[in-house]
């Protein structure tokens, strides 16, 4: 079935946005693991320019004081927002946080790491903007595509603001978790709209209830596991700050119950995905998209367990931190796409008879 040029452009930009979102999660992991969040202390520019400096000599003598003042203003605005919603105690903690008064020395590596992260974010934003524009080609045909695409554009704007708060505040640990969950929501909406466009006009499939239910369970478990992982990261940051960056080999051991629960939940994730893989193999043909997605998911989970072991026994190497969160996101994306394909598939030949 042929589709209009506008619909083809929608699918192209939607798929591009999905790919860029995964790359953005990877870039964000690099920023997080290298401590480059304040590599660019201002926004949307970086040290006052659209191209960041490469040497401290290119900066004014008072650059530290200038950007500390900017950070204080941003935190004060955020504190006022918290006051407005009744979180006065948290707002007071932010106002009294003396750590934001400590200026950071210019580091070209961290600056360019954050700058590249921002560039990828801008490209993702443009891809989602074009996706939203071309989604109107489905108006009246599938309004869900339009709603999801426009909603995603709004969420991305909010996510960008929240990201600036993440690097500006030091005490609000839960913001990092919300930031990650929003990233998953944006990814899910993009995957949903892409899938809905691919299967438009195709009949619904007969779904075996337990396969569908177990898929929902493993997705929810993955979201919980990712949320718990961000909490582990926050605990590690707290320990790192307390030990002034030293004794890195002891950080995991000091993380306590939150790390233990995160590790134990990984076993449940593995077991349930093995069960789901068995059910999918029994219910769908070998060449179906369902089996392909489960094979990919299973590979990502095995690799994620490997990076988890590296984090636990090799003093949290930064590359493993970055890969760990990327792999978790890929698992979530594949599981969600499987869920969508269980009821209506882009592949016409997948169900065993």
Residues 16 and 91 in one domain: yes
pLDDT at 326: 93
What is the C-alpha separation between 54 and 106, in angstroms, rounded? 9
Residues 227 and 135 in one domain: no
What is the C-alpha separation between 32 and 266, in angstroms, rounded? 22
Residues 8 and 124 in one domain: yes
pLDDT at 45: 80
pLDDT block averages, 10 residues each, the chain of length 353? 86 97 92 82 81 86 81 84 84 79 82 92 95 95 95 91 74 75 95 93 72 93 91 78 71 79 89 92 86 93 91 84 92 95 64 35
Question: For residue 284, which phi and psi values (nearest 5 degrees)?
Answer: -130, 155
What are residue 97's DSSP bridge partners?
none
Residues 210 and 157 in one domain: no
Q: What is the extent of the structural domain holding 58?
A: 1-201
CB distance 141 to 45 below 8 Å: no
Residues 171 and 218 in one domain: no
Residues 189 and 306 in one domain: no
Residues 33 and 92 in one domain: yes
Tokens 């239910």 -> residue: 213
Closest listed residue to residue 75, CA positions, set 159, 172, 158, 160: 172
What is the C-alpha separation between 59 and 56, in angstroms, rounded? 5
User: Which of 139, 170, 201 marks a domain boundary?
Assistant: 201
pLDDT at 208: 65
pLDDT at 344: 72
User: Which of 155, 186, 201 marks a domain boundary?
Assistant: 201
What is the C-alpha separation between 341 and 351, in angstroms, rounded? 11
Query: What totals of helices (H) and strands (E) does the chain contain, helices first?
Result: 11, 0
Residues 197 and 213 in one domain: no
Closest listed residue to residue 114, CA positions, set 59, 186, 32, 236: 32
pLDDT at 137: 95
pLDDT at 330: 96
User: Which of 201, 228, 247 marks a domain boundary?
Assistant: 201
Number of separate domains in the chain: 2
pLDDT at 216: 94
What is the C-alpha separation between 131 and 149, in angstroms, rounded? 7
What are residue 46's DSSP bridge partners?
49
Report the predicted TM-score, pTM, of the whole model to 2 decimal places: 0.88
CA distances from 336 to 16, 188, 206, 218, 319 (A): 18, 7, 18, 10, 26
């Amino acid at each position: 079935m042929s589709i209009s040029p506008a619909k083809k452009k929608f699918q192209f930009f939607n798929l591009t946005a999905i790919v860029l979102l995964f790359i953005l999660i990877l870039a964000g992991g690099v920023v997080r693991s290298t401590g480059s969040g304040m590599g660019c202390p201002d926004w949307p520019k970086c040290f006052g320019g659209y191209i960041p400096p490469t040497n401290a000599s290119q900066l004014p003598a008072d650059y530290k004081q200038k950007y500390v003042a900017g950070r204080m203003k941003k935190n004060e605005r955020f504190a006022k927002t918290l006051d407005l919603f009744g979180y006065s105690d948290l707002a007071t903690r932010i106002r009294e946080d003396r750590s934001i008064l400590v200026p950071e020395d210019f580091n070209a590596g961290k600056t360019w790491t954050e700058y590249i992260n921002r560039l990828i974010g801008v490209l993702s934003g443009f891809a989602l903007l074009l996706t939203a524009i071309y989604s109107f080609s489905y108006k009246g045909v599938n309004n869900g595509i339009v709603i999801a695409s426009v909603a995603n554009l709004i969420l991305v704007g909010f996510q960008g603001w929240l990201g600036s708060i993440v690097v500006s505040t030091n005490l609000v640990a839960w913001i990092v978790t919300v930031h990650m969950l929003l990233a998953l929501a944006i990814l899910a909406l993009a995957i949903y709209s892409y899938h809905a466009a691919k299967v438009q006009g195709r009949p619904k499939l007969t779904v075996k209830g337990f396969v569908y239910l177990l898929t929902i369970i493993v997705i929810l478990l993955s979201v919980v596991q990712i949320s718990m992982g961000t909490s582990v990261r926050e605990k590690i940051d707290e320990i790192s700050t307390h030990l002034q960056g030293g004794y890195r080999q002891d950080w995991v051991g000091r993380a306590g119950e939150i790390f233990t629960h995160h590790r134990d939940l990984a076993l449940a994730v593995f077991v349930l995905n093995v069960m789901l893989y068995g059910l999918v193999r029994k219910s769908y043909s070998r060449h179906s998209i369902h089996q392909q997605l489960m094979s990919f998911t299973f590979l990502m989970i095995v690799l994620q367990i490997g990076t988890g072991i590296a984090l636990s026994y090799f003093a949290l190497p930064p590359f493993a931190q970055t890969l760990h969160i990327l792999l978790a996101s890929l698992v979530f994306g594949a599981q969600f796409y499987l869920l969508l394909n269980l009821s209506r598939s882009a592949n016409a030949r997948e169900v065993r008879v």
